[in-house]
Amino acid sequence: MIRSMLYATDLGLYAPYVMQHALALARTFKAELYVIHVVEPLGLFAESVLQSYLDEQALSEWQSQGLTTVMANIEQRVLDSFREEVGEGEQDLELIQSVRVIQGDPSQVILDQVQKLSVDLLIVGSHSHGAGVATPLGRTAARVLQLSQVPVYLVPLLQHRRSDDM
């Protein structure tokens, strides 16, 4: 029985499409829905650029306050997109238990949250906005599929369906 689900979003082009699947499943099973978006840490290049333009105090301030602000803004963006998608369906919003934005390696954070929240199902898109048709699965989706200890509901991109229909 599915009582709780985790929807991992990349906030990409197809996120609203995957979100519709997550909401439909939550409605069908009357399940709690948790939403997560993972922000990858800044790379070495970005860190070095920041260090060259900011003094030590400003860099430290940005790392502590700026990142928190960015994460809060992303959480708000996710909530706003849910509100926009459901429109009049306020009962759908009640299914959402939390929206969290966490920094780290996407596949590892997603798998950690599956364990922490003890969800029964993980919902992900097949891959991010930038992947081409030749790539059947994105890196994060492939890793999550390989390592998840709960069933994974994988939503294929619309672009793949259209190219296969031709």
pLDDT at residue 130 in the model: 52
Q: What is the pLDDT along the chain (166 residues), one digit of tens a residue?
A: 899 999 999 888 888 889 999 999 999 999 999 999 998 876 666 667 777 777 778 777 777 777 778 788 888 887 887 777 776 666 777 888 999 999 899 999 999 999 999 999 999 998 765 545 566 788 999 999 999 999 999 998 765 444 444 4
Average pLDDT, the chain: 83
**Pairwise CA distance, residues 154 & 3, whole Å:** 18
**Can you give the CATH number for the domain in which 97 is found?**
3.40.50.620
Three-state secondary structure call for residue 65: helix
Q: Which domain holds residue 102?
A: 4-165
The amino acid at residue 88 is: E
| Tally of structural domains, the chain | 1
**Pairwise CA distance, residues 108 & 125, whole Å:** 16
Could you tell me which residues are beta bridge partners of residue 79?
none
Could you tell me which residues are beta bridge partners of residue 9?
37
